[in-house]
Amino acid sequence: MPIPVISMAQMREWEKATWAAGRSEADVIRRVGHIIAARAEQMTRPGDLILVLAGKGHNGDDARQTSQNLADREVYLINVAEPEASLSEFLSQLSLQPALIVDGLFGIGLNRALDNHWVTLIEQINHSGIPILSIDVPSGLNADTGQPHGTAIHASVTLTLAAPKRGLLAASAWPFVGRLEVAPDIGLVSFPLQSRTQWTTREDFANYPPTRPVAGHKGTFGHLAIFGGSLGYHGAAVLAARGALRARPGLVTAFTTEEVYVPVASQLQSAMVQPWQLGKRFADSFTAVLIGPGFASQNLPSDLKSEMAYLWKELPIPVVADASGLDWLASGPIQAKALRVITPHPGEAARLLKTTTAAVQESRPETLDQLSRLFGNCWVALKGHQSLIGGGGIQEVFVNSSGNPYLAQGGSGDVLAGYLAGLLAQPQLQADPLKALRYSVWQHGAAADLLSSRQPNWVLDDLLEALGSLPSDDLRRAVL
């Protein structure tokens, strides 16, 4: 199940209910210590030095417990009561080149601006160049607003406890949080938590996609039509088609402009390729359409653009719009019960809404809502760090938990658009489009995470090899 994104007040109520039920803080701290230690061991090697910084509160207790559970590692614990007194001890340990710093200075209870001594210590930690694992929240960061109390730790990984805190998802918090991970089971009791924003977990996709019927054939699993590719941008159509094939629909046909038909067709074997022609009959066999990848040439015929707008408005089957195809959509209502999806990145979202990318990043859930309403309550996958999935007439917004900055390669979005459309082309998966959308975005990011754990220089060909083949359990072995 997805995990609600909560406020600090909700977190405190949850803890209060746990203590009232008879569970002790000491038991939870012991469990947290084992969880943090396991993650620290994933980020280091046997024999490495791990420097643990523990403050005076419960966050410090978690860090102290962590220091007792690190097997086959050299551990140095600094109990930081007064920052000016601990600074020289910290700098001395830096000379020994620790492999990891565990940050347990402050938790969610910090509610004041840090004085100059704390600022100096935290800045020295940040400037050390050592990877940092923050417990629950990067020390110094407000977990409700995502703003620093003067300064804050720049974590490599933040392992937040029980549930994601609202402020950790704010764009202002991203430089401090680093990679956000969640440890949901820390020993708290079951507690009703309400939140519009939901954090996606790998467990959400257990046994998905479902087992295929044993007597299935190509027609059972759908036929995707991809419209894309133009002079100078034919590779996008190729990547989208290859991404679609990884989703394993029954058939994929790519329609591309005549001037790039040969290079597109020469790079695709399993997909059929045809040159686009005005007035060509749209086949009844198609079960979904993707429009846009590689339609970036300035010389595309106006008839092509108007036909893509018509497909968006009128087709009864799912239509996914990506890249340049987004600019050709007509706003307003769409055919009743028609499944429509758009996949903009922040820059494209800003262009569609006539605003700035900075404004999009500052209010991503609201941006998603506006885009969905603009195009007839369509589904939206707002790409970027912690991609959002929502719209489609539902209230919830789902935050994707996978992925890393190495997805920032030209063509990555085309791969995702093709994979997503390839899933939606399958009649078996159309009954729950939200799950198909969430799974495609998660799988795309999870494949990148696995690749990044193995080699630093992977490219899109590697992503296409991994895409769709990743069982959830593989991520447990990935060291990010």
- Whether residue 205 is contained in a domain is answered as no
Is residue 475's pLDDT more than 60?
Answer: no
The overall average pLDDT reported for the chain is 95
The predicted structure's pLDDT at residue 473: 46
The predicted structure's pLDDT at residue 354: 97
The predicted structure's pLDDT at residue 60: 97
* Residue 226 shares a structural domain with residue 186: no
Any idea what the CATH number is for the domain that residue 440 is in?
3.40.1190.20
More confident residue, 280 or 232: 232
Question: Quick check: 250 and 221 in contact, CB under 8 A?
Answer: yes
Question: Quick check: 390 and 377 in contact, CB under 8 A?
Answer: no
Read off the pLDDT of each residue in 300-317 and give the average, rounded to a whole number: 93
* Residue 262 shares a structural domain with residue 385: yes
- Whether residue 202 is contained in a domain is answered as no
- Whether residue 73 is contained in a domain is answered as yes
- Whether residue 456 is contained in a domain is answered as yes
Read off the pLDDT of each residue in 257-268 and give the average, rounded to a whole number: 96
Structure tokens at 366: 């609201």
* pLDDT tens sequence across 330-354: 999 888 889 999 999 999 999 999 9
The predicted structure's pLDDT at residue 458: 97
Q: How many domains does the chain have?
A: 2
* Residue 94 shares a structural domain with residue 149: yes
Question: 30 — alpha (psi -120 to 50), left (phi > 0) or beta?
Answer: alpha
Which residue among 194, 209, 240 closes a domain?
Answer: 194
* Residue 254 shares a structural domain with residue 178: no
The predicted structure's pLDDT at residue 476: 42
* pLDDT tens sequence across 416-474: 999 999 999 999 999 999 999 999 999 999 999 999 999 989 999 999 999 998 764 44
* pLDDT tens sequence across 98-132: 999 999 999 998 989 999 999 999 999 999 999 99
* Residue 232 shares a structural domain with residue 190: no
* Residue 349 shares a structural domain with residue 248: yes
* Residue 257 shares a structural domain with residue 159: no
* pLDDT tens sequence across 369-384: 999 999 999 999 999 9
User: What percentage of the chain carries pLDDT values higher than 90?
Assistant: 92
- Whether residue 8 is contained in a domain is answered as yes
Any idea what the CATH number is for the domain that residue 13 is in?
3.40.50.10260
* Residue 248 shares a structural domain with residue 190: no
The predicted structure's pLDDT at residue 480: 38
The predicted structure's pLDDT at residue 471: 65
Read off the pLDDT of each residue in 131-152 and give the average, rounded to a whole number: 97
* Residue 188 shares a structural domain with residue 234: no
Of 14-18, 92-96, 108-112, 386-390, which range is least confident? 108-112
Look up the domain containing 58 and give its range: 3-194
- Whether residue 230 is contained in a domain is answered as yes
* Residue 189 shares a structural domain with residue 226: no
The predicted structure's pLDDT at residue 39: 98
Read off the pLDDT of each residue in 41-51 and give the average, rounded to a whole number: 97
- Whether residue 7 is contained in a domain is answered as yes
* pLDDT tens sequence across 161-214: 999 999 999 999 999 999 999 999 999 999 999 999 999 999 999 999 999 999
- Whether residue 389 is contained in a domain is answered as yes
The predicted structure's pLDDT at residue 472: 46
The predicted structure's pLDDT at residue 269: 95
* Residue 188 shares a structural domain with residue 223: no
* Residue 14 shares a structural domain with residue 158: yes
